[in-house]
Amino acid sequence: MRPHKTTLFAVLLLLLTCYGSAQTQYLLTTSPSAVQDVCSRHGLTGASTVWTNNSSTIGVYLVNPPSSYVAPTLESEVSSDVEVVQFERDQQVNVPELTAASATVAQSTTAVLDGVAKRTVVSFFGSNVASYYVQQPALTILRVAEARSATGLTGVGIVAVIDTGVDPNHPALASVLTPGYDFTRNVAGIPNELNDLDPAVAAILTQSTTAVLDSNTIAHAAGGVLPILQQSTTAVLDQSTTAVLDQSTTAVLDQSTTAVLDGVLPKAFGHGTMTAGLVHLIAPTARIMPLKAFFADGTSDVANIVSAIYYAVDHGASVINMSFEMPAPSPGIRAALNYAQNHNVTLVAAAGNDSSTSAVWPAALSNVLSIGSTSNSDVRSSFSNYGSPDVVFAAPGEAIVTTYPGNHYAAAWGTSFSAPMVAGAVVLLQQKNYQGGFSWIMNAFDKSTVQVPSMNRGRVDFYKALLYQ
């Protein structure tokens, strides 16, 4: 028997009606003086401040809807309130590598493995780092050494990295970190990624791996697929695990804790330390402000992202790196990014890893430098988004060696790792001409590019960009 139309309507109404779900919240933008009245008129509760401007004329608040409501009706009514600037449902945001359509990388891993075999410790702007971190193909492609030699620019501003946090004790990063904020815990300071782990697991990762496992232990995993960090983008690497890299987009170098850590680490653990390491690699004397808006599983929400953007601007950042994506635009994030642009902050975002021409946000916004990924052979990475005018520039994003929590290094694949290198170059361009602003930086990159099919304006050349007048 076919359901009666009235029954179908009742079911639809039930689906649209939410009953006090703790997971459903909204972002309300209004004046601080009006927030209580607005909430009272519409049955909104629990208003907590996300951000207010210095003059207290506008604010963003996280609010709970009524215990029983029809979502489209509530959203329409509140948005129509004359004292409301914006009203949107808080939604999930992900790091690109968490949702990538394909994590398989066909590129040869020879360069990475050769680097592991030849590891030595070298000095890099006052820190002792792994040689394969500062001597890797991506730096040659981008002509980083030539740019540094020709201009002497090494970075003087603050780059905010909105991500999963950072390892504050990593030798390569410790001296350049400036206090940020942990929006997942509401705690000021440098957000430590290792706090997301069970203390016993963190201890294994941070202590000398020789004392934990000898090199023979790796044989357990070296013969097959090794998704150690419970994500398609990470796997532990030893010199004998050549096959591992070809099915994974990130590999932790020089540790042998495979048997212990297998299946333990969260999906996106280390992502923030990796992106911070790439900013530092390009702009070694710039300060890095880690803003933890993401949990270790690679998820965040609009409220945390909005909070992080406003925090970065209000605490002196001149560049914001955003290695994350969402499938639809957010009015709240757009407003925060406009605020950043109005304060001469340059915005850089990952273009996404869906091998698609579809737009992702915030990369698709016109005031954001959207960065796709190229291989070490200067062709589009198979996973990188492309073609859309929203993918503005590209940078290497395969086999990129960077920092990883616990005094480790990782080889990474993804637009998440192309973007922070460009963010590092942006702070160098600002050092050269801070007053130039977004359009001047766009022109500097535009005049420097190497054309790559389907990658819009092309792959950037930092040497040419930094010589731009």
Residue type, 237: L
- Per-residue confidence (pLDDT) for residue 324, from 0 to 100: 95
Cα separation of 384 and 44, whole Å?
Answer: 41
Contact 402, 281 (CB under 8 A): yes
DSSP string of 123-142, one letter each residue: EETTEEEEHHHHS-HHHHHH
Cα separation of 133 and 155, whole Å?
Answer: 19
User: Across-strand partners of 52?
Assistant: 59
Domain 96-199+266-466, CATH: 3.40.50.200
Picking from 465, 370, 466, 361, the residue whose alpha carbon sits closest to that of residue 415 is 370
Q: Which helix (H) or strand (E) holds 319?
A: strand 319-322
Cα separation of 434 and 424, whole Å?
Answer: 14
Q: Residue 265 — φ and ψ, nearest 5°?
A: -75, 140
Token pair 């990658």 is found at 455
Q: What is the pTM of this model?
A: 0.86
Cα separation of 162 and 321, whole Å?
Answer: 6
Cα separation of 44 and 241, whole Å?
Answer: 55
- Per-residue confidence (pLDDT) for residue 374, from 0 to 100: 95
Q: Which helix (H) or strand (E) holds 336?
A: helix 331-342
Sheet of 59-64, strand order: 45-52, 59-64, 26-30, 84-89
Assign domain 5-90 to its CATH architecture: 2-Layer Sandwich (3.30)
Per-residue tokens: 76? 């329409």
SS3 321: strand
- Per-residue confidence (pLDDT) for residue 150, from 0 to 100: 98
Cα separation of 353 and 437, whole Å?
Answer: 28
Domain ranges of the chain: 5-90, 96-199+266-466
Contact 269, 294 (CB under 8 A): no
SS3 259: helix
Cα separation of 36 and 40, whole Å?
Answer: 6
Query: How many contiguous H segments (helices) and E segments (strands) does the chain have?
Result: 18, 22
Picking from 369, 346, 177, the residue whose alpha carbon sits closest to that of residue 277 is 177
Contact 379, 372 (CB under 8 A): no
Phi-psi region of 387 (alpha: psi -120 to 50; beta: other; left: phi over 0): left
Cα separation of 13 and 403, whole Å?
Answer: 50
Buried b or exposed e, range 424-456, using 16+ CB within 10 angstroms: bbbbbbbbbeeebebebbbebbeebbeebeebb
Per-residue tokens: 73? 């009706």
- Torsion (CA) 402, 404, 410, 413 in degrees, nearest 10: -70
Q: What is the pLDDT along the chain (469 residues), one digit of tens a residue?
A: 444 443 333 333 333 344 444 469 999 999 999 999 999 999 999 999 999 999 999 999 999 999 999 999 999 999 999 999 999 999 999 988 765 543 333 333 444 444 555 668 999 999 999 999 999 999 999 999 999 999 999 999 999 999 999 999 999 999 999 999 999 999 999 999 999 998 888 888 887 442 222 223 222 222 222 222 323 333 333 332 222 333 334 556 554 443 345 556 888 999 999 999 999 999 999 999 999 999 999 999 999 999 999 999 999 999 999 999 998 999 999 999 999 999 999 999 999 999 999 889 999 999 999 999 999 999 999 999 998 778 889 999 999 999 999 988 988 899 999 999 999 999 999 999 999 999 999 999 999 999 998 888 999 999 999 999 8
Find the angle CA(148)-CA(152)-CA(158) to the nearest 5 degrees.
Answer: 90
DSSP string of 264-318, one letter each residue: TS-TTTTHHHHHHHHHHHHSTTSEEEEEE-S-TTSEEEHHHHHHHHHHHHHTT-S
Cα separation of 341 and 395, whole Å?
Answer: 23
Cα separation of 189 and 264, whole Å?
Answer: 26
